[in-house]
């Protein structure tokens, strides 16, 4: 019969481990026709579940896509960038490092598999197409609200998957119907054509989906809802109208290197899309179906404790892993060197990604996000204590913590059950602020930005941030250049949004796509490299530390070094540190003396250029945000089609962007 047999079988097989509470026992029959499956709500719902089943596959979001794509930005880095290599060794590095440094290749060992992330997403799209076709034909979607909801969910999945393909691979083949013998081997479509389908899918889906909490289906954040679809529309619109490295016009699928440019399609211009996207954000705001968690810390405690599925109105959608799938904290939590109370099998886990070393210094000291987002510690299983981890180049993500995983503790295996957040309400508010600013509504932009900043400051006075109501419109407009002009000017609305998205969403790996669409990827990375060098050498914005630094000589090199005081606070499950805030520079803790240190220890070489220097090669790590033969991250900001995928396509696919051909 039709391919629905496959998708239904997958959905039924997955039912026993699916996270959704309303799954029922599988029927014994395994051979239903489409007119039976999509006329029955339970069977149709199983089929829609089957679309999302692909996210749990190892080379899909479980162990590759969600962990690799977001590196390296001005706030997030891979922990092993160019470890043990020198400037001549472009090919002598681990493929995970190559991917993070914008230098992936078609034979990448992490991705060049028959089940690589591209193939997995395409499988998800095929399942979505089968569901969309079946529901339209047999689901009575215009009279049955629940069947209509399922169609909206399938459309949103297809839109999400195609957006992800464009984000990671640029131009790809476009299919809106199930594969048949004449459409197996399709060539790439221009991304503008794909964007139009994605936006149209979301427009239809929005009308069919329920608001969060409006129906049983949307009481959990692992089901699609209207607020998420509206926010996703805004995210897609900002990318479609934004900058990207694209093949030259008419050259898609010809091997063309391409250039950094905006779309030339008038239907996808910012002037057309931004007002539509802003209306969707306005709808979310006025619906009151989503809201910010009052406390930033409470939000992340709920996340780690798997309460974010039902326990917070801020989370709009998550990757729907089962409770025993996914490697989020496994990868991004701060390090545990051995097992402890939270890792039962004595494993060492966490610390594979890092905040940039200067990110902590970009926050105001009163910003409640700073010390929650960033920690400079590890759990030492030998001493059963928290301790300082290295020097200033070793910060980690404090948002992600094993010790907060109470409801679903981590057992130390290869999966942790954490369900990564795809969209938060704060992200939607900041997109709304950007859209409002670019369409000339400064007041609305200030309102949306102010909602996010108000929570961040929690009633405390800001000492570094310009007051939201004092921000000017600056260069904001719909010509695509506003953020390029204003990103470094914190007195303008776009400059403030540029900063706020970094501080609010750090460690959620959204930044790379932001920088790409703003036309700032290379600029931001070059500015970051320069700022890190200033930090390491205690110059520029960090010159105040130099007055209290000492000089050290190693291997005939003299460098400055600045100390940090730290001590464990076991009850609070953290370390305390002193000496980095502006009013602490050169000072000692109030309760510290040499005779009575009260637990304080001194890390003598905390800030120094040596912290960033590879001891084997002498290279400084700030030079490795991107490293490829083009000396530019943009042409490699999209991945190649990998060889094992190309080998099955009978020559229909060609790698653009200057990648080697299969």
Instruction: Write a three-state SS string for 112-136.
Output: CCCCCHHHHHHHHHHHHHHHHHHHH
Contacts of 299-303 with CB under 8 Å at 24 or more apart are 300/372, 300/399, 300/400, 300/401, 300/404, 301/404, 303/399, 303/418, 303/421
CB 361 within 8 A of CB 289: no
Peptide bond into 72 cis (omega under 30): yes
- What is the C-alpha to C-alpha distance for residues 193 and 187, in angstroms, rounded to an integer? 13
Give the total number of structural domains in the chain: 2
Q: Is residue 378 part of a domain?
A: no
| Same domain membership, residue 117 and residue 20 | yes
- Distance of alpha carbon 281 from alpha carbon 430, whole angstroms: 10
What does the DSSP 8-state code read for residue 462?
A: P
Residues 565 and 645 in one domain: no
Query: Using CA atoms, how far apart are residues 537 and 532, in angstroms rounded to an integer?
Result: 9
pTM of this prediction?
0.94
Q: What is the pLDDT of residues 52-77, one digit of tens each?
A: 999 999 999 998 887 889 999 999 99
How high is the pLDDT of residue 432? 98
190 part of a folded domain: yes
Please report whether residue 112 resides in a domain: yes
**Is residue 527 assigned to a domain?**
no
Q: What pLDDT score was predicted for residue 341?
A: 83
Statement to judge: residues 126 and 29 lie in one domain: yes
Give the residue among 541, 523, 627, 636 at the shortest CA–CA distance from 582: 541
Kind plus residue range of the DSSP H or E element containing 78: strand 76-78
Q: Are residues 122 and 197 in the same domain?
A: yes
If residue 280 lies in a helix (H) or strand (E), which one and from where to where? Answer: helix 270-287
Instruction: Using the structure block, give the residue that is written with the tokens 């949004």.
Output: 497
Say if residue 126 is in the same domain as residue 27.
yes
Quick check: is 173 in a domain?
yes
Structure tokens of 280?
């969707």
Same domain, 639 and 602: no
* 554/647 same-domain check: no
pLDDT computed for residue 93 by the predictor: 63
Token pair for residue 286?
A: 């006025």
The helix/strand/coil state of 609 is helix
CATH number, domain with residue 35: 1.25.40.890
pLDDT value of position 12: 46
* pLDDT computed for residue 597 by the predictor: 97
**Domain check: are 10 and 74 in the same one?**
yes
Helix (H, G, I), strand (E, B) or coil at 182: coil
Angstrom distance (rounded) from CA 648 to CA 107: 15
Is residue 89 domain-shared with residue 61, that is, in the same domain?
yes
376 in a structural domain: no
What does the alpha-carbon distance between residue 659 and residue 245 come to, in Å, rounded to a whole number? 13
Residues 596 and 630 in one domain: no
- Per-residue CA distances from 27 to 24, 31, 87, 322 (Å): 9, 11, 60, 21
Instruction: With a cut of 50, list the residues of the chain below it in pLDDT.
Output: 1-2, 4-5, 12-30, 84-89
Do 32 and 67 belong together in one domain? yes
**Tokens of residue 319, six digits:** 């990757």
Instruction: Say what the pLDDT of residue 339 is.
Output: 72
Q: What is the pLDDT of residue 464?
A: 85
- Provide the domain limits for residue 570: 544-607
pLDDT for the residue 5:
46
CB count, 10 Å around CB of 223?
Answer: 26
Residue 172 contacts residue 639 (beta carbons within 8 Å): no
29 is a domain residue: yes
Indicate whether 640 and 579 sit together in one domain.
no
**In-domain check, residue 35:** yes
């Amino acid at each position: 019969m039709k391919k629905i047999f496959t998708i239904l079988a997958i959905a039924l097989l997955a039912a026993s481990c699916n996270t959704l509470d309303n799954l029922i026992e599988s029927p014994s029959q395994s051979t239903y026709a489409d007119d039976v499956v999509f006329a029955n709500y339970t069977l149709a719902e199983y089929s829609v579940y089957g679309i999302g089943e692909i996210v749990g596959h190892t080379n899909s979001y479980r162990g590759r896509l969600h962990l690799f794509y977001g590196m390296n930005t001005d706030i997030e880095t891979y922990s092993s960038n160019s470890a043990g290599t020198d400037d001549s060794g472009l090919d002598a590095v681990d493929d995970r490092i190559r991917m993070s440094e914008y230098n992936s290749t078609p034979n990448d060992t992490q991705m060049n598999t028959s089940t690589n992330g591209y193939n997995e997403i395409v499988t998800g799209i095929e399942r979505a197409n089968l569901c969309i076709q079946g529901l339209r034909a047999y689901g009575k979607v215009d009279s049955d609200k629940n069947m209509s909801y399922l169609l909206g969910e399938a459309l949103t999945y297809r839109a999400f998957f195609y957006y992800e393909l464009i984000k990671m691979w640029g131009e790809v083949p476009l299919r809106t119907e199930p594969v048949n013998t004449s459409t197996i081997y399709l060539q790439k479509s221009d991304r503008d054509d794909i964007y139009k389908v994605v936006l149209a899918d979301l427009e239809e889906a929005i009308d069919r989906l329920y608001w969060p909490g409006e129906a049983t289906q949307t009481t959990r954040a692992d089901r699609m809802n209207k607020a998420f679809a509206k926010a996703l529309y805004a995210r897609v619109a900002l990318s479609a109208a934004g900058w990207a490295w694209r093949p030259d016009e008419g050259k898609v699928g010809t091997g063309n290197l391409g250039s950094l440019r905006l779309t030339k399609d008038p239907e996808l211009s910012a002037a057309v899309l931004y007002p539509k996207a802003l209306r969707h954000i306005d709808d979310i705001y006025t619906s009151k179906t989503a809201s910010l968690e009052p406390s930033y810390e409470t939000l992340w405690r709920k996340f780690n404790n798997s309460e974010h599925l039902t326990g917070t109105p801020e989370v709009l959608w998550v990757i729907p892993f089962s409770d025993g799938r996914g490697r989020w904290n496994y990868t991004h939590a701060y390090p545990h060197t051995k097992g402890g109370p939270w890792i039962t099998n004595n494993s060492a886990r966490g610390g594979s990604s890092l905040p940039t070393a200067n990110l902590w210094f970009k926050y105001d000291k009163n910003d409640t996000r700073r010390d929650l987002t960033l920690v400079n510690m590890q759990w030492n299983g030998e001493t059963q204590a928290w301790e300082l981890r290295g020097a200033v180049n070793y910060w980690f993500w404090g948002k992600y913590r094993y010790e907060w995983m109470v409801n679903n503790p981590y057992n130390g295996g290869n999966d942790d059950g954490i369900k990564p957040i795809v969209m938060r309400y704060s992200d939607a508010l900041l997109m709304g602020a950007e859209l409002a600013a670019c369409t000339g509504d400064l007041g609305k932009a200030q309102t949306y930005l102010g909602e996010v900043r108000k929570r961040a400051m929690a009633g405390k006075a800001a000492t570094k941030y310009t007051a939201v109501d004092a921000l000017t419109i600056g260069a904001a407009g719909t010509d695509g250049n506003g953020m390029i002009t204003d990103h470094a000017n914190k007195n303008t609305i776009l400059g403030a949004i540029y900063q706020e998205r970094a501080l609010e969403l750090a460690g959620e790996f959204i930044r790379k796509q932001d920088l790409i669409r703003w036309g700032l990827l290379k600029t931001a990375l070059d500015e970051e490299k320069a700022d890190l060098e200033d930090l390491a050498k205690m110059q520029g914005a960090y010159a105040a530390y130099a007055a209290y630094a000492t000089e050290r000589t190693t291997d005939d090199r003299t460098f400055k070094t600045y100390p940090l005081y730290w001590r464990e606070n076991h009850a609070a499950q953290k370390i305390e540190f002193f000496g980095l805030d502006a009013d602490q520079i050169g000072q000692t803790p109030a309760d510290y003396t040499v005779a009575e240190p009260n637990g304080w220890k001194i890390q003598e070489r905390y800030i120094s250029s040596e912290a960033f220097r590879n001891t084997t090669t002498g290279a400084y790590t700030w030079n490795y945000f991107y490293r490829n033969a083009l000396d530019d991250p943009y042409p490699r900001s999209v991945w190649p089609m990998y060889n094992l995928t190309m080998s099955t396509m009978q020559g229909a696919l060609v790698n653009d962007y200057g990648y080697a051909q299969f």
